[in-house]
Structure 1
Amino acid sequence: MNEPHLWDHEHPYYSHLGHRHVSPADGGNHEDFDSWADFLEARGDEDPDYNLLVRWDWIKPEPEWAEPDYTDELSLFYVLQREGDYWSVTVTVTENDEPAIRKWLTQRATHLAHIWTPLLPTTPQPTPSPTNQPTMKDPTMPDHFEQIHYTLPARHLQPGMSTADGQDILTVSPNGPYIGITVYTPRDDDPATDAANRAEPEYRIYDPDEPVDLCTYTNTAIDGSYHPTATITTTQHITTTPTTDDDG
């Protein structure tokens, strides 16, 4: 079955564009962008904790009212948690933008789901990409797979990425002039140990422009190797030999 398009969804209720208590003369806490590329350049890699995306709506012009110059619009609604504020964005988009938008929205959905742990039964996973391939962390990995190691400046780290030493990033937040992250050792094969490790994460701190060694694994939620500032250091094509039972 084909996956429904993003514009096919009509979300419950609605959300107000801008902040009702901020004058339009002061910007109204709303911003417009002429294209998805313009939005990504300006705001695409913002800290997902500072700018918590809580809703999105893809709006198509009504057929009976549509004029030739009418366009699709994607509205995004944020809570600025640290400031106790609310912000919205409207982006002019096209149907051709959907794959990139779906990937970006899925990353934000994954982050939002962490806030509702353990109430949500599962955490959304991003749409697979060519750089999100199985690696040694997955006990069910295929016989042939690709493992990509890369670096990314600390300012662009996101929860859900994986470090080159096998840790998953739980949180990313500024700490004075630095970037602080918490990481833990995931254990997909042992839920109890995974939960215990997650409850006692390790704290790491970086300069904002300091390159951080990362890797994409099978169960890595966020693949950052596609990021414009990422540098791929090695790509390993690995062949595994299935284990056999000596008694079999």
Structure 2
Amino acid sequence: MTTPTDDRLWDIDHPYYCAEGNYFKNGQHLTYPNWTEFQEEWGSLDDDLNLVFRWDWKRADPADYEPYGEDVPPDALHVYWVLQRKAILRSTECVITEADEPAVREWLTRKAARLRLVWEPLLDTRTSPKDA
């Protein structure tokens, strides 16, 4: 089995990008002021019905703001979902801090295990369903 990267989540740069919300329906990008409030709503939902397929820890570059006297926006976790029973594409965004990283990593790791089951027949290693 492969081991997870020790890279800080904010240093990971995924290829390409994912658009927020849903092209076909408004109101499908929800925002939360912190990790705790995000977790209260999304933290323990059924992974089979609320599948996370991507995440991005977004961190603004201070050089884009400070020269203009603007405040640098806080870090934000963007999570992209398929609510499978109704085929809804949705995204969520919550303000996070470096102190949130262990909890965010633990939660994302559980989501990754579930997504891995979808693709596992094509991957080099296998995961037990109890691990997902």
Please tell me the TM-score bracket, short chain as reference.
Answer: 0.7 to 0.9
Secondary structure of 1:117's partner? helix
Q: Which amino acid counterpart does residue 44 of structure 2 have in structure 1?
A: D
Say if 2:14 is the partner of 1:7: no
Q: Percent same amino acid among aligned pairs?
A: 40
Larger Rg: 1
Cα distance change, pair 123–101 in 1 and its aligned pair in 2 (3 A): farther
Please state how far the C-alpha of 1:17 moved relative to its aligned partner. 0.6
Q: Would you say the 8 A contact 1:106–1:124 is kept in 2?
A: no
Q: Would you say the 8 A contact 1:7–1:58 is kept in 2?
A: yes
Tell me which of the two structures has the higher relative contact order, counting C-alpha pairs closer than 8 angstroms and 6 or more residues apart. 2
Say if 2:35 is the partner of 1:36: yes
Please state how far the C-alpha of 1:117 moved relative to its aligned partner. 2.3
Q: Which amino acid counterpart does residue 115 of structure 2 have in structure 1?
A: L
Cα RMSD, aligned residues only: 2.0
Q: Deviations over 1:177-209 (max 9, x none)?
A: xxxxxxxxxxxxxxxxxxxxxxxxxxxxxxxxx
Please state how far the C-alpha of 1:20 moved relative to its aligned partner. 1.4
Q: Which runs of 5+ in 1 are unaligned?
A: 126-158, 161-220, 223-248
Secondary structure of 1:77's partner? strand
Partner Cα separation in structure 1 for residue 102 and residue 56 of structure 2: 15
Q: Would you say the 8 A contact 2:54–2:80 is kept in 1?
A: yes
Please state how far the C-alpha of 1:30 moved relative to its aligned partner. 1.1
Partner Cα separation in structure 2 for residue 117 and residue 123 of structure 1: 6
Q: How does 1:210-229 map to 2 (within 5 A)?
A: 221=131
Q: Deviations over 1:150-184 (max 9, x none)?
A: xxxxxxxxx63xxxxxxxxxxxxxxxxxxxxxxxx
Q: Which moved more, 1:35-44 or 1:67-76?
A: 67-76
Please state how far the C-alpha of 1:80 moved relative to its aligned partner. 1.4
Q: Which amino acid counterpart does residue 30 of structure 2 have in structure 1?
A: E
What's 1:166 paired with? none
Taking structure 2 as the reference length, the TM-score comes to 0.85
Taking structure 1 as the reference length, the TM-score comes to 0.47
Structure ranking higher in helix proportion:
2
Please state how far the C-alpha of 1:65 moved relative to its aligned partner. 2.2
What's 1:199 paired with? none
Secondary structure of 1:114's partner? helix
Cα distance change, pair 102–116 in 1 and its aligned pair in 2 (3 A): same
Q: Which runs of 5+ in 2 are unaligned?
A: none
